[in-house]
Structure 1
Amino acid sequence: MKAAPYLLCLPALVLFAGVVIVPLGMTVLLSFHDWGQYKGIEPVFILKNWQEVLGDSYFHEMFARTFRIAFFVTLLAAVFGAPEAYILNRMRSPWRGLFLLVILGPLLISVVARTLGWALLFGGNSGLVNKALMGMGLISAPLPFMFTETGIVVALAHVLMPYMVLAVWASLQRLDPQVENAAVALGAGPFTVLRRIVLPQVMPGILSGAVIVFALAASAFATPAIIGGRRLKVASTLAYDEFLNTLNWPLGAAVAVLLLAALIAIIWGTNRLVERRYAQVFA
C-alpha cells in the first residue's frame, strides 16, 4: 500500500502542525494587529508594529546586542569546546566515560540553577569569588559581571558548551587514528597534524555545533534575564516585556517573528556551508 507511510506519519504531522505551525501562524498574524492602552488588541491589518521595529534605533540596538552576544558565545564555545572534544576522543576507558559524564552532566541541571550559580559567584560584593579576591587584597572592587554583556557571554558559553563538544566529538568519530599515525611516521609534527589532518575533518562538526550554539544563544531567555536584568535587554527579554509588562502583544509578536526569521536565515545559510564542507571533506 503506497499510502501506508503517509498514514503512519499523519499523527506526527498533525501534532507538529498543532503545536508549532498553528501557534507560529497566529503569532505572525498577531504582529499585524493594532494595540492601544485603553482599547486593547484590535484585529485590523496594519504595518505599524513592523515599521516601529524596523525603523526605531532602540530595536536595532536590541537585535545588534542579541546577535553580538550569540556570536561571542559561539566563538567561546568553539575555542574551548573543540579541544575538549579532541582530548575526550583520545581518552581511553574508563576515563572517557567519566569525563563525558562530567561534560554532559550540566545538561541534567536546570539552566536557571546554573545561571544563578554564576550570579552567586560574581554577584557584586556578596559574590563568593569577588568576596574572596577582595579579602585576599587582589582586587579593590568587585569584578563587573552582573548586568554586563561579558557576564551573559560567559554564562551562556558555560550553559551551551556541551552542545559544541557533542557536535565536534561526533565528527571526530569519522577520523581514523591511523591517518594521524601515518602523518607522524612521515615526519609531520603535532601542530602540522592538527592543522592539515584533524582540523579539516573536524571543521564540519565545529560548524554544526556553531549553528546549534548560535541559535540557542540568540533565543535564550533565562540566562540574559538573570545576568543582564532589566538594564541589558536582548530580543527574547524584549519580547517577554512587551507581552507581559506593557501588554503590547502585537509589538512583542513582531519582535519574536523577526528574531525567528533572522535565525532561520542564518541557520539556512550556515547549513549550506556545512553541507558544502561535508561534501569536500568526505567526498
Structure 2
Amino acid sequence: MPGRVNPWLLSAPALLVYATFLVVPLALVFLISFFDFEFYGGIQAAFSWHNYVEIFTDGYYYEVYARTFGVAAGVTLACLVLGTAEAYVLSRMANPWKSLFLMVVLGPLLISVVVRTLGWALLFGSTGLISKTLLALGLVSSPVSLMYSNLGVGIALTHVLVPFMVIAVWASLQRINPSTEAAALSLGASQFTVIRRVIVPQVMPGILSGAIMVFAMASSAFATPAIVGGRRLKTVATAAYDEFLNTLNWPLGAALAMVLLVATVVVLLAANRLVERRYGAVFNQGGH
C-alpha cells in the first residue's frame, strides 16, 4: 500500500498547482459559456445553448475558425520543414559553432513576442524594407504590404514558433546512435535516403511533439494576429478578446474559446493517431 500511495503524495503539490491554475479556470470558462447575455441586462446566470448555436449557425464564425486553423496548419508545416532542417544541421556541427548557432536559433525566445511582432510589422508595411527591396529590384511596380494578410500573420508566427520545433527535434536527434547513419552510408545508401529512411523515422517522436506545440500555440496565438492581422483579419483568439473586453459578452467569448479548445484537441489527437499508425514500430522501440 505505501508503494502505491507515495507517488500520489509526491505529485500532490504539482497536481494542486495544475488544478488551481488550469483545471479550475477552464471549468469556470466552460460554465460561463452556457450563460446568457443581454445588451442592457448584462450576463444572465441561466443555462442556455444560445452561444454555441450562434457559433455553429453563423457563417462569420466558420470563416474565423477556418482562418485560424488554416494559418496554424501553414505555420506548423513551415516550422516542421525549417525546424527539422535547422536541428539536423546543428546536430552535425562541431563545437564551438554548434553552441553559437544554437544560441542564434533559440535567441529570439529571450525577446518578447510583442517586440518581435512589431519588428515584422515595420518590415511588412508598404514603406517597409521588404516593399522597398522589391521595388528596387524591379520585381513589383507598386508598394507591397503584407500587413493585414494571412501570409503576413503566418510569416510572423513561423518566426515566433520555429525555435520550439528546433528544440523538440534536437532532443530526438541527440538520442540517435551515429553508427546507424554510418552503417546505412557504408551499405551504399545516399545521404538523402539515409535522412528519409533512417533519420526521419527515428526523430518522428520529436517532430510530432514539436508539431503539436506549434499547432496549439499558433491556433491560440493572440499578440501576433492582433498586431499583424489587425481588426479586419479576425482569428478565434482576437474574436474572443473582443467579446470579453469590447462588447462584454463573456458567455459568447467563453463559448468561442471552448470550441477552439475542443477543435484543437480533436485535430491533435487525429494527427497523433495518424503518425502513430505509420511509425508505430519506431514509437514502440522508443518506449523500450
TM-score, L = length of structure 2: 0.92
For 1:130, the aligned partner's letter is S
The answer to whether the Cα contact below 8 Å between 1:156 and 1:223 also exists between their aligned partners in 2 is: yes
User: Displacement, 1:202?
Assistant: 2.2
Aligned residue runs from structure 1 range 196-275, under 5 A = 196-273=197-274
Partner of 1:134: 135
Partner of 1:74: 76
Over the aligned positions, Cα root-mean-square deviation in angstroms equals: 1.7
Identity of aligned residues (%): 57
1:153-201 CA-to-partner distances (Å, cap 9, x unmatched) read 1110110000111111111112222222222222222222222212222
User: Displacement, 1:13?
Assistant: 2.2
Cα gap change, 1:14 to 1:109, in 2 (>3 Å): same
C-alpha separation between the residues in 2 aligned to 1:148 and 1:71?
Answer: 16
Flag structure 1 segments of 5+ consecutive residues without an equivalent: none
1:40-98 CA-to-partner distances (Å, cap 9, x unmatched) read 00100011101001111111110011000000000111111111111001011111100
* DSSP-derived class of the 2:43 partner: strand
C-alpha separation between the residues in 2 aligned to 1:167 and 1:143?
Answer: 35
User: Is 1:49–2:26 an aligned residue pair?
Assistant: no
* DSSP-derived class of the 2:203 partner: helix
C-alpha separation between the residues in 2 aligned to 1:142 and 1:173?
Answer: 46
The answer to whether the Cα contact below 8 Å between 2:135 and 2:143 also exists between their aligned partners in 1 is: yes
C-alpha separation between the residues in 1 aligned to 2:262 and 2:19?
Answer: 18
Cα gap change, 1:10 to 1:203, in 2 (>3 Å): closer
For 1:84, the aligned partner's letter is E
Partner of 1:16: 18
C-alpha separation between the residues in 2 aligned to 1:7 and 1:22?
Answer: 21
The answer to whether the Cα contact below 8 Å between 2:131 and 2:145 also exists between their aligned partners in 1 is: no
- Name which of 35, 54, 60 aligns with 1:58: 60
User: Displacement, 1:272?
Assistant: 3.8
The answer to whether the Cα contact below 8 Å between 1:204 and 1:277 also exists between their aligned partners in 2 is: no
Partner of 2:164: 163
C-alpha separation between the residues in 1 aligned to 2:150 and 2:233?
Answer: 8
Moved over 6 A (4+): none
Partner of 1:85: 87
Q: Which shows bigger deviation, 101-110 or 17-26?
A: 17-26
Cα gap change, 1:136 to 1:273, in 2 (>3 Å): closer
Q: Which shows bigger deviation, 134-143 or 242-251?
A: 134-143
* DSSP-derived class of the 2:141 partner: coil
Q: Which shows bigger deviation, 172-181 or 133-142?
A: 133-142
